[in-house]
């Protein structure tokens, strides 16, 4: 459980690619007074663009290339070692495209969050934008959630949606959802940093009240 007295909240951010959500978090810290500090950025992909964003912001980076530890359990153990060196209050998955072992998830129970481009529990997995269009949905969105052992699942902390336009393509929808993500991820981290949100017995509790959507 996160401590409400921990201000600023220390974060370790895990990425695999572009790192635009990492950038949104960094911008919210420097420009909007988000009470958090990114202690380190870790990538499983050596040339992830997000690593350059971290370096530019003067944040320590580490690469743990999953190809060097083909066994998932061993890889996650390595990852835990690197993360725990920074003793973060919160581990933030920001486009970290790996399935995590139950051991990893349990180790960070209540302080491991993820962002996913869909209105969870709908559309877990990949290519959500194209799948949502194919299914003829009227709305699409993004969710921030506590991580559980199942892929893209776990109690939702924050969610927002957009209406789908007639002329929408997967690319335009992805762009719009990304912009949404850049708002809701820093917002959810703020709630956590302020001690307004916590995970109690597998349910999200906001201001000491359980939410309806968990």
The residues annotated with a catalytic role in the active site are: 116
CB 189 within 8 A of CB 92: yes
**Cα–Cα distance list, 72 to 69, 141, 154 (Å):** 7, 30, 21
CB 36 within 8 A of CB 29: yes
Single out the residue of 89, 117, 141, 186 in contact with ligand GAR (rule: CB under 6 A).
Answer: 117
Shortest separation between residue 64's beta carbon and ligand GAR, angstroms? 17
Stretch that binds ligand GAR, among 18-26, 28-36, 78-86, 204-212 (CB under 6 A): 18-26
Stretch that binds ligand GAR, among 27-35, 110-118, 157-165, 196-204 (CB under 6 A): 110-118
Residues 6+ apart with CB under 8 A from 33: none
Single out the residue of 17, 88, 141, 186 in contact with ligand GAR (rule: CB under 6 A).
Answer: 17
Residues 61 to 100: which contact ligand GAR by CB under 6 A?
A: 94-95
For 209, other C-beta atoms within 10 Å of its C-beta total: 8
Is residue 21 at the binding interface for ligand GAR, with CB under 6 A as the rule? Answer: yes
Q: Which residue number places its CB atom closest to ligand GAR?
A: 95
Shortest separation between residue 192's beta carbon and ligand GAR, angstroms? 18
C-alpha span between 48 and 110 (Å, rounded): 27
C-alpha span between 106 and 211 (Å, rounded): 22
Could you tell me how many residues of this chain bind ligand GAR (CB under 6 A)?
15
> Phi and psi at residue 199, in whole multiples of 5°?
-100, 115
Residues 6+ apart with CB under 8 A from 14: 41, 42, 43, 44, 79, 83, 91, 92, 93, 94, 96
Shortest separation between residue 18's beta carbon and ligand GAR, angstroms? 4
Of residues 21 and 148, the one with the C-beta less far from ligand GAR: 21
Q: What residues line the site for ligand GAR (CB under 6 A)? A: 15, 17-21, 50, 94-95, 115-117, 152, 178, 181
């Amino acid at each position: 459980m996160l401590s409400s007295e921990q201000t600023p909240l220390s974060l370790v951010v895990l990425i695999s690619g572009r790192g635009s959500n990492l950038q949104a978090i960094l911008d919210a810290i420097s420009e909007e007074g988000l009470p958090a500090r990114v202690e380190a950025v870790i990538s499983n992909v050596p040339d992830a663009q997000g690593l350059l964003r971290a370096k530019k912001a003067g944040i320590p980076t580490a690469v743990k290339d999953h190809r060097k530890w083909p066994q998932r359990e061993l890889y996650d153990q390595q990852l835990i070692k690197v993360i725990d060196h920074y003793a973060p209050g919160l581990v933030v998955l920001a486009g970290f495209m790996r399935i995590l072992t139950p051991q990893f998830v349990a180790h960070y129970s209540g302080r491991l969050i993820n962002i996913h481009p869909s209105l969870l529990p709908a559309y877990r997995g990949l290519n959500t934008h194209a799948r949502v269009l194919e299914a003829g949905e009227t709305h699409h969105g993004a969710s921030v959630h506590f991580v559980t052992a199942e892929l893209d699942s776990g109690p939702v902390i924050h969610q927002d949606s957009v209406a789908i336009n007639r002329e929408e393509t997967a690319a335009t929808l992805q762009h719009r959802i990304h912009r949404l993500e850049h708002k809701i991820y820093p917002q959810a981290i703020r709630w956590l940093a302020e001690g307004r949100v916590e995970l109690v017995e597998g349910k999200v509790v906001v201001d000491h009240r359980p939410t309806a959507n968990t």
